[in-house]
Chains A and B, each alone.
Chain A
Amino acid sequence: MKGKLIIYLSCAVIVILHIILIKFMHLGHVYFEFEELPAFGALIGLLGTLFIVVVAKSLSKIITKRENYYD
Protein backbone atom coordinates (compact mmCIF):
# COMPACT_ATOMS: atom_id res chain seq x y z
CA MET A 1 0.00 0.00 0.00
CA LYS A 2 2.82 2.34 0.99
CA GLY A 3 4.73 1.64 -2.22
CA LYS A 4 1.68 2.45 -4.30
CA LEU A 5 1.25 5.75 -2.53
CA ILE A 6 4.89 6.69 -3.17
CA ILE A 7 4.50 5.96 -6.88
CA TYR A 8 1.27 8.01 -7.17
CA LEU A 9 2.89 10.92 -5.33
CA SER A 10 6.08 10.89 -7.36
CA CYS A 11 4.07 10.81 -10.59
CA ALA A 12 2.17 13.89 -9.54
CA VAL A 13 5.27 15.73 -8.32
CA ILE A 14 7.22 14.96 -11.50
CA VAL A 15 4.43 16.16 -13.77
CA ILE A 16 4.12 19.41 -11.84
CA LEU A 17 7.89 19.96 -11.79
CA HIS A 18 8.15 19.15 -15.45
CA ILE A 19 5.46 21.62 -16.43
CA ILE A 20 6.81 24.40 -14.23
CA LEU A 21 10.52 24.02 -15.01
CA ILE A 22 10.42 23.06 -18.66
CA LYS A 23 7.18 24.46 -20.01
CA PHE A 24 7.08 27.78 -18.20
CA MET A 25 10.66 28.49 -17.17
CA HIS A 26 12.23 27.04 -20.35
CA LEU A 27 15.15 25.44 -18.49
CA GLY A 28 15.26 22.39 -20.75
CA HIS A 29 16.70 21.67 -24.14
CA VAL A 30 14.56 19.74 -26.63
CA TYR A 31 15.50 18.05 -29.90
CA PHE A 32 12.06 17.59 -31.45
CA GLU A 33 8.88 19.59 -31.62
CA PHE A 34 6.83 16.83 -30.07
CA GLU A 35 8.91 17.15 -26.94
CA GLU A 36 7.33 20.56 -26.40
CA LEU A 37 4.15 18.82 -25.23
CA PRO A 38 3.56 19.35 -21.53
CA ALA A 39 5.39 16.68 -19.48
CA PHE A 40 6.59 14.73 -22.50
CA GLY A 41 8.68 12.38 -20.34
CA ALA A 42 5.59 11.39 -18.39
CA LEU A 43 3.66 10.89 -21.60
CA ILE A 44 6.27 8.60 -23.13
CA GLY A 45 6.60 6.73 -19.84
CA LEU A 46 2.87 6.12 -19.77
CA LEU A 47 2.26 5.39 -23.44
CA GLY A 48 5.55 3.54 -23.99
CA THR A 49 4.95 1.16 -21.10
CA LEU A 50 1.34 0.64 -22.16
CA PHE A 51 2.59 -0.14 -25.65
CA ILE A 52 5.07 -2.71 -24.33
CA VAL A 53 2.52 -4.34 -22.03
CA VAL A 54 -0.20 -4.51 -24.66
CA VAL A 55 2.11 -5.86 -27.36
CA ALA A 56 3.62 -8.40 -24.99
CA LYS A 57 0.25 -9.57 -23.74
CA SER A 58 -1.22 -9.95 -27.20
CA LEU A 59 1.93 -11.65 -28.49
CA SER A 60 1.83 -14.11 -25.61
CA LYS A 61 -1.46 -15.52 -26.93
CA ILE A 62 0.53 -16.95 -29.84
CA ILE A 63 3.95 -17.67 -28.42
CA THR A 64 3.37 -18.78 -24.84
CA LYS A 65 3.53 -22.57 -24.55
CA ARG A 66 3.84 -25.15 -21.79
CA GLU A 67 7.37 -25.78 -20.51
CA ASN A 68 7.93 -29.18 -22.14
CA TYR A 69 6.93 -27.90 -25.56
CA TYR A 70 10.24 -28.79 -27.21
CA ASP A 71 10.69 -32.23 -25.60
Chain B
Amino acid sequence: MSTELTTAEEIGVGEYRYGFHEPVEGYVFRGRKGLNRDVVAQISEMKREPEWMRQFRLDSLELFFQKPMPHWGGDLSQLDFQDIYYYVRASDRQEKSWDDVPDDIRRTYDRLGIPEAEKKYLAGVKAQYESEVVYGSLQEDLANKGVIFTDTDSAVREHPDLVREYFGTVIPPADNKFAALNSAVWSGGSFIYVPKGVHIEFPLQAYFRINSENMGQFERTLIIVDEGASVHYVEGCTAPTYSTESLHSAVVEIIVKRNARCRYTTIQNWSNNVYNLVTKRAMAYGDSLMEWVDGNLGSKLTMKYPAIYLMEPGARGETLSIAFANRGQHQDAGAKMVHCAPHTSSRIISKSISKGGGRSSYRGLVKMQGDAHHCKSNVVCDALILDPQSRSDTYPYIEVDQDDVAVEHEASVSKIAEEQLLYLMSRGLTEPEASAMIVTGFIEPLVKELPMEYAVEMNRLIELQMEGSVG
Protein backbone atom coordinates (compact mmCIF):
# COMPACT_ATOMS: atom_id res chain seq x y z
CA MET B 1 0.00 0.00 0.00
CA SER B 2 2.63 2.49 1.01
CA THR B 3 4.94 1.87 -1.96
CA GLU B 4 2.59 3.42 -4.47
CA LEU B 5 1.89 6.41 -2.32
CA THR B 6 5.54 7.05 -1.62
CA THR B 7 6.23 7.10 -5.34
CA ALA B 8 3.34 9.45 -5.90
CA GLU B 9 4.76 11.78 -3.29
CA GLU B 10 8.25 11.63 -4.76
CA ILE B 11 7.07 12.86 -8.11
CA GLY B 12 4.83 15.41 -6.44
CA VAL B 13 1.54 14.12 -7.78
CA GLY B 14 -1.45 15.60 -6.03
CA GLU B 15 0.66 17.98 -4.02
CA TYR B 16 -0.19 21.22 -5.78
CA ARG B 17 -3.09 21.55 -8.13
CA TYR B 18 -2.52 25.11 -9.30
CA GLY B 19 1.02 24.70 -10.59
CA PHE B 20 -0.01 24.94 -14.23
CA HIS B 21 0.80 27.98 -16.31
CA GLU B 22 -1.06 29.07 -19.37
CA PRO B 23 1.20 30.31 -22.15
CA VAL B 24 0.14 33.90 -22.68
CA GLU B 25 1.10 35.59 -25.93
CA GLY B 26 1.82 39.25 -26.40
CA TYR B 27 2.24 40.73 -22.93
CA VAL B 28 1.62 44.43 -23.15
CA PHE B 29 4.67 45.26 -21.09
CA ARG B 30 7.43 43.35 -19.44
CA GLY B 31 10.21 45.48 -17.98
CA ARG B 32 13.66 44.16 -17.46
CA LYS B 33 14.74 42.33 -14.34
CA GLY B 34 16.16 44.25 -11.44
CA LEU B 35 15.43 47.33 -9.40
CA ASN B 36 16.63 50.93 -9.54
CA ARG B 37 15.21 54.48 -9.69
CA ASP B 38 14.52 54.19 -13.41
CA VAL B 39 12.42 51.09 -12.97
CA VAL B 40 10.38 52.77 -10.25
CA ALA B 41 9.99 55.99 -12.22
CA GLN B 42 8.90 54.00 -15.25
CA ILE B 43 6.19 52.19 -13.28
CA SER B 44 4.85 55.52 -12.05
CA GLU B 45 4.97 56.97 -15.54
CA MET B 46 3.17 54.05 -17.15
CA LYS B 47 0.44 54.44 -14.55
CA ARG B 48 0.26 58.21 -15.23
CA GLU B 49 0.39 58.90 -11.52
CA PRO B 50 0.28 62.26 -9.79
CA GLU B 51 3.58 63.68 -8.70
CA TRP B 52 2.99 62.92 -4.99
CA MET B 53 2.76 59.22 -5.68
CA ARG B 54 5.83 59.26 -7.90
CA GLN B 55 7.77 60.96 -5.12
CA PHE B 56 6.34 58.56 -2.53
CA ARG B 57 7.66 55.68 -4.60
CA LEU B 58 11.12 57.12 -5.08
CA ASP B 59 11.46 58.02 -1.39
CA SER B 60 10.35 54.53 -0.48
CA LEU B 61 12.96 53.03 -2.79
CA GLU B 62 15.68 54.90 -0.89
CA LEU B 63 14.31 53.50 2.36
CA PHE B 64 14.30 50.03 0.85
CA PHE B 65 17.97 50.32 -0.11
CA GLN B 66 18.89 51.67 3.33
CA LYS B 67 17.08 49.06 5.37
CA PRO B 68 18.88 45.84 6.17
CA MET B 69 17.36 42.46 5.40
CA PRO B 70 15.59 41.04 8.42
CA HIS B 71 17.93 38.64 10.18
CA TRP B 72 15.12 36.84 12.03
CA GLY B 73 12.29 34.71 10.77
CA GLY B 74 12.99 32.73 7.62
CA ASP B 75 16.03 32.26 5.42
CA LEU B 76 16.12 35.08 2.87
CA SER B 77 19.69 34.52 1.72
CA GLN B 78 18.63 33.06 -1.63
CA LEU B 79 16.34 35.96 -2.45
CA ASP B 80 17.97 38.01 -5.23
CA PHE B 81 16.25 41.35 -5.75
CA GLN B 82 18.02 41.85 -9.09
CA ASP B 83 16.63 38.61 -10.52
CA ILE B 84 13.00 39.66 -10.40
CA TYR B 85 10.60 41.35 -12.80
CA TYR B 86 9.03 44.22 -10.88
CA TYR B 87 6.34 45.16 -13.31
CA VAL B 88 4.66 42.91 -15.85
CA ARG B 89 1.45 43.81 -17.62
CA ALA B 90 -0.35 41.03 -19.46
CA SER B 91 -3.33 43.08 -20.59
CA ASP B 92 -3.80 46.80 -21.00
CA ARG B 93 -7.36 47.02 -19.75
CA GLN B 94 -9.47 46.01 -16.83
CA GLU B 95 -12.67 44.36 -18.00
CA LYS B 96 -16.13 44.30 -16.48
CA SER B 97 -17.13 41.10 -18.25
CA TRP B 98 -15.21 37.85 -18.24
CA ASP B 99 -16.00 37.56 -21.96
CA ASP B 100 -13.76 40.56 -22.62
CA VAL B 101 -10.78 39.25 -20.64
CA PRO B 102 -8.18 37.90 -23.11
CA ASP B 103 -8.81 34.19 -23.68
CA ASP B 104 -5.47 32.91 -22.46
CA ILE B 105 -5.79 34.84 -19.19
CA ARG B 106 -9.44 34.00 -18.77
CA ARG B 107 -8.59 30.28 -19.09
CA THR B 108 -6.51 30.53 -15.92
CA TYR B 109 -9.40 31.97 -13.92
CA ASP B 110 -11.79 29.40 -15.37
CA ARG B 111 -9.48 26.66 -14.19
CA LEU B 112 -9.41 28.28 -10.77
CA GLY B 113 -13.21 28.41 -10.73
CA ILE B 114 -13.49 32.16 -10.11
CA PRO B 115 -16.26 33.16 -12.56
CA GLU B 116 -18.36 30.29 -11.24
CA ALA B 117 -17.85 31.29 -7.62
CA GLU B 118 -18.74 34.87 -8.49
CA LYS B 119 -22.12 33.82 -9.85
CA LYS B 120 -22.91 31.85 -6.74
CA TYR B 121 -21.86 33.74 -3.65
CA LEU B 122 -19.78 36.86 -4.13
CA ALA B 123 -20.78 40.49 -3.99
CA GLY B 124 -17.80 41.59 -6.03
CA VAL B 125 -14.60 40.29 -7.57
CA LYS B 126 -11.16 41.62 -8.52
CA ALA B 127 -8.80 39.43 -10.45
CA GLN B 128 -5.18 40.48 -10.49
CA TYR B 129 -2.91 38.83 -13.04
CA GLU B 130 0.80 39.63 -12.65
CA SER B 131 0.97 43.35 -11.82
CA GLU B 132 -2.46 44.55 -12.90
CA VAL B 133 -6.10 43.89 -12.19
CA VAL B 134 -7.63 42.41 -15.35
CA TYR B 135 -11.22 41.99 -14.21
CA GLY B 136 -13.45 43.76 -11.73
CA SER B 137 -17.08 43.63 -10.71
CA LEU B 138 -19.32 44.91 -7.95
CA GLN B 139 -23.01 44.32 -7.41
CA GLU B 140 -24.97 47.29 -8.64
CA ASP B 141 -26.95 47.92 -5.46
CA LEU B 142 -23.72 48.21 -3.50
CA ALA B 143 -22.31 50.68 -5.99
CA ASN B 144 -25.54 52.67 -5.64
CA LYS B 145 -25.06 52.80 -1.89
CA GLY B 146 -21.67 54.38 -2.40
CA VAL B 147 -19.52 51.32 -1.88
CA ILE B 148 -16.24 51.59 -3.76
CA PHE B 149 -14.47 48.40 -4.78
CA THR B 150 -11.81 49.05 -7.34
CA ASP B 151 -8.13 48.41 -7.92
CA THR B 152 -5.82 50.74 -6.05
CA ASP B 153 -4.36 52.24 -9.25
CA SER B 154 -7.80 53.36 -10.38
CA ALA B 155 -8.50 54.64 -6.87
CA VAL B 156 -5.46 56.94 -7.05
CA ARG B 157 -6.98 58.52 -10.16
CA GLU B 158 -10.67 58.37 -9.29
CA HIS B 159 -10.71 58.91 -5.52
CA PRO B 160 -7.57 60.96 -4.91
CA ASP B 161 -8.78 62.57 -1.69
CA LEU B 162 -9.65 59.33 0.05
CA VAL B 163 -6.46 57.65 -1.10
CA ARG B 164 -4.25 60.55 -0.07
CA GLU B 165 -5.88 60.72 3.34
CA TYR B 166 -5.18 57.09 4.23
CA PHE B 167 -2.54 55.65 1.90
CA GLY B 168 0.62 54.79 3.83
CA THR B 169 -0.80 55.97 7.15
CA VAL B 170 -1.31 52.54 8.68
CA ILE B 171 1.91 51.09 7.32
CA PRO B 172 4.43 53.81 6.52
CA PRO B 173 7.15 52.89 4.00
CA ALA B 174 9.76 53.05 6.75
CA ASP B 175 7.99 50.29 8.70
CA ASN B 176 10.17 47.50 7.34
CA LYS B 177 12.24 46.62 4.29
CA PHE B 178 9.42 44.88 2.46
CA ALA B 179 6.89 47.60 3.21
CA ALA B 180 9.41 50.01 1.69
CA LEU B 181 9.82 47.76 -1.34
CA ASN B 182 6.08 47.52 -1.85
CA SER B 183 5.70 51.28 -1.45
CA ALA B 184 8.27 51.78 -4.22
CA VAL B 185 6.97 49.31 -6.79
CA TRP B 186 3.37 48.61 -5.80
CA SER B 187 0.82 47.80 -8.47
CA GLY B 188 -2.75 46.61 -8.30
CA GLY B 189 -4.43 45.47 -5.13
CA SER B 190 -7.91 46.38 -3.92
CA PHE B 191 -9.30 49.65 -2.75
CA ILE B 192 -12.48 49.39 -0.74
CA TYR B 193 -14.56 52.06 0.86
CA VAL B 194 -17.71 51.11 2.74
CA PRO B 195 -19.80 54.17 3.63
CA LYS B 196 -21.32 54.74 7.06
CA GLY B 197 -23.85 52.14 8.12
CA VAL B 198 -23.60 50.02 4.97
CA HIS B 199 -23.44 46.27 5.56
CA ILE B 200 -22.16 44.12 2.75
CA GLU B 201 -23.77 40.74 3.15
CA PHE B 202 -21.71 38.61 0.76
CA PRO B 203 -17.93 38.61 0.60
CA LEU B 204 -15.89 40.73 -1.76
CA GLN B 205 -13.16 38.61 -3.25
CA ALA B 206 -9.82 39.35 -4.82
CA TYR B 207 -7.86 36.71 -6.62
CA PHE B 208 -4.13 37.12 -7.08
CA ARG B 209 -2.37 35.11 -9.71
CA ILE B 210 1.28 35.10 -10.68
CA ASN B 211 1.88 33.48 -14.08
CA SER B 212 5.44 34.41 -15.13
CA GLU B 213 8.70 33.04 -13.92
CA ASN B 214 10.78 35.26 -11.59
CA MET B 215 7.78 37.48 -11.15
CA GLY B 216 7.39 39.96 -8.34
CA GLN B 217 3.84 40.79 -7.35
CA PHE B 218 3.40 43.83 -5.11
CA GLU B 219 -0.25 44.53 -4.68
CA ARG B 220 -1.35 47.27 -2.37
CA THR B 221 -4.67 47.04 -0.63
CA LEU B 222 -6.43 49.77 1.29
CA ILE B 223 -9.76 49.17 3.02
CA ILE B 224 -11.74 51.84 4.83
CA VAL B 225 -14.81 50.72 6.73
CA ASP B 226 -16.67 53.79 7.84
CA GLU B 227 -18.66 54.11 11.08
CA GLY B 228 -21.15 51.35 11.72
CA ALA B 229 -20.42 49.60 8.41
CA SER B 230 -19.29 46.05 7.78
CA VAL B 231 -17.46 44.07 5.12
CA HIS B 232 -15.93 40.65 4.59
CA TYR B 233 -13.05 40.62 2.15
CA VAL B 234 -11.51 37.39 0.91
CA GLU B 235 -8.32 36.90 -1.02
CA GLY B 236 -6.93 33.83 -2.72
CA CYS B 237 -3.46 33.43 -4.17
CA THR B 238 -1.88 30.87 -6.50
CA ALA B 239 1.06 30.65 -8.88
CA PRO B 240 2.61 28.14 -11.28
CA THR B 241 5.36 25.89 -10.07
CA TYR B 242 8.73 26.99 -11.46
CA SER B 243 12.21 25.95 -10.50
CA THR B 244 13.19 29.58 -9.85
CA GLU B 245 11.80 31.88 -7.22
CA SER B 246 9.07 34.47 -7.40
CA LEU B 247 8.33 37.14 -4.84
CA HIS B 248 5.00 38.25 -3.47
CA SER B 249 5.25 41.24 -1.18
CA ALA B 250 1.95 42.92 -0.45
CA VAL B 251 0.96 45.72 1.85
CA VAL B 252 -2.54 45.73 3.26
CA GLU B 253 -3.83 48.70 5.24
CA ILE B 254 -7.21 48.70 6.93
CA ILE B 255 -9.08 51.36 8.86
CA VAL B 256 -12.06 50.18 10.86
CA LYS B 257 -13.95 53.15 12.25
CA ARG B 258 -16.25 53.34 15.26
CA ASN B 259 -18.76 50.49 15.56
CA ALA B 260 -17.63 49.04 12.24
CA ARG B 261 -16.62 45.47 11.48
CA CYS B 262 -14.13 44.08 9.06
CA ARG B 263 -13.18 40.52 8.44
CA TYR B 264 -10.27 39.82 6.11
CA THR B 265 -9.85 36.21 5.04
CA THR B 266 -6.80 34.93 3.19
CA ILE B 267 -6.38 31.52 1.65
CA GLN B 268 -2.80 31.69 0.50
CA ASN B 269 -1.83 28.77 -1.68
CA TRP B 270 1.21 29.99 -3.59
CA SER B 271 3.36 27.38 -5.27
CA ASN B 272 6.47 26.28 -3.44
CA ASN B 273 8.80 28.65 -5.27
CA VAL B 274 7.21 31.86 -3.99
CA TYR B 275 8.59 34.04 -1.21
CA ASN B 276 5.55 35.47 0.49
CA LEU B 277 6.61 38.48 2.57
CA VAL B 278 3.58 40.49 3.45
CA THR B 279 2.78 43.34 5.81
CA LYS B 280 -0.82 43.55 6.96
CA ARG B 281 -2.11 45.95 9.54
CA ALA B 282 -5.45 47.29 10.70
CA MET B 283 -6.39 50.18 12.94
CA ALA B 284 -9.53 49.52 14.92
CA TYR B 285 -11.39 52.45 16.50
CA GLY B 286 -14.01 52.63 19.27
CA ASP B 287 -16.21 49.53 19.69
CA SER B 288 -15.18 48.18 16.33
CA LEU B 289 -14.19 44.64 15.48
CA MET B 290 -11.33 43.64 13.21
CA GLU B 291 -10.76 39.99 12.35
CA TRP B 292 -7.99 38.38 10.35
CA VAL B 293 -8.62 34.83 9.22
CA ASP B 294 -5.37 33.73 7.73
CA GLY B 295 -4.79 30.41 6.00
CA ASN B 296 -1.24 29.77 4.80
CA LEU B 297 -0.84 26.60 2.81
CA GLY B 298 1.54 27.46 0.03
CA SER B 299 4.80 29.36 -0.66
CA LYS B 300 8.44 28.52 -0.07
CA LEU B 301 8.72 30.96 2.80
CA THR B 302 5.94 33.02 4.30
CA MET B 303 6.64 35.78 6.79
CA LYS B 304 3.36 37.34 7.75
CA TYR B 305 2.06 38.67 11.06
CA PRO B 306 -1.26 40.44 10.53
CA ALA B 307 -1.48 43.23 13.08
CA ILE B 308 -4.32 45.04 14.76
CA TYR B 309 -3.83 48.36 16.53
CA LEU B 310 -6.64 48.83 19.01
CA MET B 311 -6.87 52.61 18.98
CA GLU B 312 -9.91 53.44 21.14
CA PRO B 313 -11.85 51.89 24.03
CA GLY B 314 -14.11 49.01 23.09
CA ALA B 315 -12.09 48.00 20.06
CA ARG B 316 -11.67 44.26 19.59
CA GLY B 317 -9.20 42.36 17.51
CA GLU B 318 -9.15 38.73 16.55
CA THR B 319 -6.72 36.69 14.49
CA LEU B 320 -7.31 33.10 13.53
CA SER B 321 -4.45 31.60 11.63
CA ILE B 322 -3.73 28.22 10.12
CA ALA B 323 -0.36 27.32 8.68
CA PHE B 324 0.47 24.13 6.84
CA ALA B 325 4.17 23.62 6.17
CA ASN B 326 4.89 20.74 3.83
CA ARG B 327 8.17 19.60 2.31
CA GLY B 328 10.48 22.49 1.50
CA GLN B 329 8.25 25.07 3.13
CA HIS B 330 8.69 27.42 6.04
CA GLN B 331 5.60 29.15 7.37
CA ASP B 332 6.68 31.88 9.75
CA ALA B 333 3.33 33.32 10.61
CA GLY B 334 1.54 34.78 13.56
CA ALA B 335 -0.16 37.93 14.72
CA LYS B 336 0.36 41.24 16.45
CA MET B 337 -2.07 42.90 18.80
CA VAL B 338 -1.17 46.37 19.96
CA HIS B 339 -3.45 47.75 22.64
CA CYS B 340 -3.15 51.54 22.42
CA ALA B 341 -6.26 52.35 24.48
CA PRO B 342 -7.89 51.09 27.67
CA HIS B 343 -10.76 48.58 27.63
CA THR B 344 -9.66 46.88 24.46
CA SER B 345 -9.50 43.15 23.91
CA SER B 346 -7.78 40.76 21.57
CA ARG B 347 -7.63 37.10 20.80
CA ILE B 348 -5.15 35.09 18.76
CA ILE B 349 -5.75 31.50 17.81
CA SER B 350 -3.00 29.89 15.81
CA LYS B 351 -2.89 26.35 14.50
CA SER B 352 0.01 24.97 12.56
CA ILE B 353 0.72 21.66 10.90
CA SER B 354 4.18 20.51 9.84
CA LYS B 355 4.68 17.58 7.51
CA GLY B 356 7.30 16.03 5.26
CA GLY B 357 10.15 18.07 6.72
CA GLY B 358 8.23 21.34 6.65
CA ARG B 359 8.70 23.97 9.30
CA SER B 360 6.08 26.18 10.87
CA SER B 361 6.70 28.92 13.37
CA TYR B 362 4.29 30.97 15.37
CA ARG B 363 5.63 34.46 15.97
CA GLY B 364 3.37 36.79 17.82
CA LEU B 365 3.33 40.00 19.78
CA VAL B 366 0.85 41.25 22.35
CA LYS B 367 1.61 44.77 23.46
CA MET B 368 -0.28 46.89 25.96
CA GLN B 369 1.23 50.30 25.90
CA GLY B 370 0.93 53.54 27.83
CA ASP B 371 -2.38 53.87 29.61
CA ALA B 372 -3.95 50.80 28.02
CA HIS B 373 -5.43 49.51 31.27
CA HIS B 374 -8.29 47.02 31.67
CA CYS B 375 -7.27 45.22 28.53
CA LYS B 376 -7.61 41.54 27.82
CA SER B 377 -5.71 39.32 25.49
CA ASN B 378 -5.89 35.61 24.97
CA VAL B 379 -3.42 33.68 22.84
CA VAL B 380 -3.72 30.00 21.98
CA CYS B 381 -1.16 28.27 19.76
CA ASP B 382 -1.45 24.63 18.84
CA ALA B 383 1.04 22.86 16.64
CA LEU B 384 0.66 19.43 15.10
CA ILE B 385 3.77 17.69 13.84
CA LEU B 386 3.11 14.77 11.51
CA ASP B 387 6.53 13.18 11.26
CA PRO B 388 9.94 13.32 12.92
CA GLN B 389 11.50 15.30 10.02
CA SER B 390 9.20 18.24 10.54
CA ARG B 391 9.54 21.13 12.90
CA SER B 392 7.51 23.63 14.85
CA ASP B 393 8.57 26.64 16.93
CA THR B 394 6.75 29.23 18.96
CA TYR B 395 8.02 32.77 19.54
CA PRO B 396 5.51 34.62 21.66
CA TYR B 397 6.37 38.16 22.74
CA ILE B 398 4.38 39.97 25.38
CA GLU B 399 5.04 43.58 26.34
CA VAL B 400 2.86 45.08 29.03
CA ASP B 401 3.26 48.49 30.71
CA GLN B 402 0.15 48.29 32.90
CA ASP B 403 -0.91 46.19 35.87
CA ASP B 404 -4.65 46.21 35.30
CA VAL B 405 -4.59 43.88 32.32
CA ALA B 406 -5.12 40.19 31.65
CA VAL B 407 -2.90 38.36 29.20
CA GLU B 408 -3.19 34.62 28.73
CA HIS B 409 -0.98 32.50 26.58
CA GLU B 410 -1.35 28.78 25.98
CA ALA B 411 0.73 26.73 23.63
CA SER B 412 0.72 23.05 22.79
CA VAL B 413 2.63 20.83 20.43
CA SER B 414 1.30 17.42 19.55
CA LYS B 415 1.86 14.54 17.23
CA ILE B 416 -0.79 12.36 15.71
CA ALA B 417 -1.06 9.68 18.32
CA GLU B 418 -0.69 6.08 17.23
CA GLU B 419 -3.86 5.39 19.22
CA GLN B 420 -5.86 7.90 17.19
CA LEU B 421 -4.71 6.36 13.92
CA LEU B 422 -5.44 2.87 15.18
CA TYR B 423 -8.89 3.87 16.31
CA LEU B 424 -9.90 5.36 12.98
CA MET B 425 -8.26 2.61 10.95
CA SER B 426 -9.98 -0.06 12.99
CA ARG B 427 -13.21 1.44 11.66
CA GLY B 428 -12.16 0.92 8.05
CA LEU B 429 -10.38 4.21 7.29
CA THR B 430 -7.10 3.95 5.39
CA GLU B 431 -4.06 5.50 7.00
CA PRO B 432 -4.08 8.59 4.73
CA GLU B 433 -7.81 9.00 5.31
CA ALA B 434 -7.32 8.69 9.05
CA SER B 435 -4.43 11.20 9.11
CA ALA B 436 -6.39 13.63 6.97
CA MET B 437 -9.35 13.32 9.28
CA ILE B 438 -7.24 14.03 12.36
CA VAL B 439 -5.66 17.06 10.67
CA THR B 440 -9.03 18.32 9.46
CA GLY B 441 -10.31 18.00 13.01
CA PHE B 442 -7.29 19.88 14.30
CA ILE B 443 -8.07 22.94 12.20
CA GLU B 444 -11.86 22.60 12.47
CA PRO B 445 -12.16 25.40 15.06
CA LEU B 446 -10.83 27.78 12.41
CA VAL B 447 -12.44 26.29 9.34
CA LYS B 448 -15.88 26.63 10.86
CA GLU B 449 -15.30 30.39 10.90
CA LEU B 450 -15.02 30.44 7.11
CA PRO B 451 -18.01 30.89 4.82
CA MET B 452 -19.15 27.45 3.73
CA GLU B 453 -17.64 27.54 0.24
CA TYR B 454 -14.23 28.45 1.62
CA ALA B 455 -14.48 25.88 4.38
CA VAL B 456 -15.06 23.20 1.76
CA GLU B 457 -12.13 24.53 -0.27
CA MET B 458 -9.90 24.64 2.80
CA ASN B 459 -10.70 21.06 3.75
CA ARG B 460 -10.07 19.98 0.18
CA LEU B 461 -6.69 21.72 0.15
CA ILE B 462 -5.74 20.05 3.42
CA GLU B 463 -6.73 16.68 1.99
CA LEU B 464 -4.55 17.35 -1.04
CA GLN B 465 -1.66 18.22 1.24
CA MET B 466 -2.23 15.01 3.13
CA GLU B 467 -2.16 12.80 0.04
CA GLY B 468 0.81 10.54 -0.06
CA SER B 469 1.42 11.14 3.61
CA VAL B 470 2.30 7.54 4.29
CA GLY B 471 6.04 7.11 4.10
Partners in one complex: no
B residues touching A (Cβ–Cβ < 8 Å)?
A: none
A residues touching B (Cβ–Cβ < 8 Å)?
A: none
